[in-house]
Amino acid sequence: MIDIQKYKLPFFVTQELEKCSNCGLCHSVCPVYQLSGLETLSARGKINLLKAVETGQLEPGKISRKIFDRCLLCYACKTVCPSGVDTENIWTEARQYFARVTGAGLKGAAVRTAFKADNLKKAAHAAKSLQDFFGIKIGKKGFRPDFADKFLIDVLPDTVPAKWEKRYRIGYFIGCVSNFFLSEIALSAIEVLSAVGCEVVIPKRQVCCGAPAFNNGEMAAAAALAKRNIQVFLEAEVDYVISADATCGGSFVHEYRRLAGDYPLYEEFAAKHREFHSFILEAGLPEKLKAIPSTIVYHDSCHLAHTQGIRIPPRRILQSLPGVKLVEMAHSDICCGFGGSFSLLHAEESSGISRRKLQNAIESGADELAAGSPGCILKLQNEAKRENIKLPIRHTAEIICERLDG
């Protein structure tokens, strides 16, 4: 008989498991299940697996851990669940649980090492050197992103002044993808913020938001990063904290609440956070914008649509830009296949999901694809290049920026 107490799940997790009615509606939005057809990889399947562990019918092992590692953490299952099962907290808690019971393996060790304060920047510099001198790229098969020529945090000034009248003093959080790979996204976002009256402060001691560590069950590493960022941005004495990275913004309102809920400064930091698109709408787009004709389709990033509930603001911005015709595509809020480490560790599945997203975008008849997450853009650009798909894929900040007059 299995010792049930030895493998006890947290009480709030067992409560959430009981809410599941086994209806299977989660199948309709789970990209991993749709690609594999495996019940164990669906939300319902994982919930039943956890129930079996909780009741002692199944002893947790490496197989169970690998099943939860094959989740994109897109949280579409939570959005669609008629019973209101809090899957976003179940999945991350399950990863932490299995890492504790079975060991986190090399992946856990790598996450703990890389995501300590400034270690990620050092690791990125080392990886870039390998890429520059030997042509070695970090990644497997279809996903091998190129590092930027220079890392953004090293070249940006401490402050970018408002272009016209100063209305706000905001702290800009760069995010790892923009910092190491797609610098044009953060540069465009800063340009747009400056154009709407923001003095943009870029604290140089900012570090990774902590989402990768959190999502892999390494809570101590994630909490240390969260507390560092909270302290750094509060010391900057800004009105608001803004990032054009949906994952980072999502971590501020989701992960940080769990990581730093007992941290005295968290609430002060949380009150300053503003989502990029929503803030631009609130501040108002500049009156003088160049008309550039384009038919654009918008992809809903999981960390905007499902974590933050942001769907309308990006569309309103795009519709208001002169020359833009906004169209919709099928399943716009289904994950692009990035999922952070998922795209590296499960490259074939990730590519299959990305190809579906690109096909839906092409069938919409759009000239270009817009998104609010640098991670989504990095993955979809990489897949489009691999498949020789000629579809520009850009952040909404870049699309606004090219229309700024002067």
Last residue of a domain, one of 261, 281, 301: 281
Of the chain, the percentage scoring pLDDT greater than 90 comes to 66
Number of domains in the chain: 3
Does 295 share its domain with 274?
no
pLDDT in tens, 343-356: 888 889 999 999 99
Residue 73 domain-assigned? yes
Residue 305 domain-assigned? yes
Q: Largest Cα–Cα distance of the chain, in whole Å?
A: 73
* DSSP code at position 368: E
Cβ proximity of 238 and 272 under 8 Å: yes
pLDDT in tens, 347-404: 899 999 999 999 999 999 999 999 999 999 999 999 999 899 999 999 999 999 999 9
Single pTM value for the model: 0.91
Query: What CATH code is carried by the domain that includes residue 9?
Result: 1.10.1060.10
Does 222 share its domain with 300?
no
Residue 111 domain-assigned? no
Q: Which uninterrupted H or E stretch holds 281?
A: helix 276-283
pLDDT-based confidence at 1, cuts 50/70/90? very low
What was the pLDDT predicted at 133?
A: 47
Name which of 292, 301, 306, 286 is nearest 243 in CA terms: 301
Does 155 share its domain with 261?
yes
Last residue of a domain, one of 242, 262, 281: 281
DSSP string, 125-187: HHHHHHHHHH---SSBTTB-PPPPSS-HHHHS-SEE--SSS--EEEEEP--HHHHHT-HHHHH
pLDDT in tens, 123-140: 665 666 556 544 545 555
Residue 109 domain-assigned? no
- Region 61-82: mean pLDDT is 87
φ and ψ at 85, to 5 degrees?
A: -70, 130
Residue 113 domain-assigned? no
pLDDT in tens, 168-199: 999 999 999 999 999 999 999 999 999 999 99
Does 177 share its domain with 133?
yes
The strand pair at 198-201 and 159-160 is best described as antiparallel
What was the pLDDT predicted at 131?
A: 61
Does 275 share its domain with 293?
no
Kindly tell me the sign of the dihedral angle through the C-alpha atoms of 221, 222, 225, 228.
negative
Query: What is the spatial distance between Cα 375 and Cα 373, in angstroms, rounded to a whole number?
Result: 5
Residue 55 domain-assigned? yes
Does 314 share its domain with 343?
yes
pLDDT in tens, 253-301: 888 888 776 788 999 999 999 999 999 999 999 988 999 999 999 999 9
pLDDT at 110 over 80: no
Q: Average pLDDT, whole number, for the chain?
A: 88
The strand pair at 294-299 and 240-243 is best described as unpaired
Q: Using CB atoms within 10 A of its CB, is residue 157 exposed (0-12), middle (13-18) or buried (19+)?
A: exposed
- Find the domain containing 277 and state its range: 119-281
Angle between helices 312-320 and 276-283 (to 10 degrees): 50
Does 339 share its domain with 221?
no
Q: Which residue type occupies 275?
A: E
Residue 18 domain-assigned? yes
Does 354 share its domain with 373?
yes
Does 345 share its domain with 396?
yes
- Region 211-220: mean pLDDT is 84
Does 239 share its domain with 329?
no
What was the pLDDT predicted at 132?
A: 56
- Region 236-261: mean pLDDT is 91
Does 94 share its domain with 158?
no
Does 270 share its domain with 336?
no
Query: What is the spatial distance between Cα 328 and Cα 370, in angstroms, rounded to a whole number?
Result: 11
Q: How many residues does the chain have?
A: 406
Cβ proximity of 248 and 211 under 8 Å: yes
Query: What CATH code is carried by the domain that includes residue 395?
Result: 3.40.50.11810
Radius of gyration of the chain (CA): 21
Query: What is the spatial distance between Cα 294 and Cα 283, in angstroms, rounded to a whole number?
Result: 24
Residue 332 domain-assigned? yes
Last residue of a domain, one of 69, 103, 137: 103
Query: What is the spatial distance between Cα 398 and Cα 318, in angstroms, rounded to a whole number?
Result: 11
pLDDT in tens, 300-339: 999 999 999 999 999 999 999 999 999 999 999 999 999 9
How far is CA 394 from its chain centroid? 15
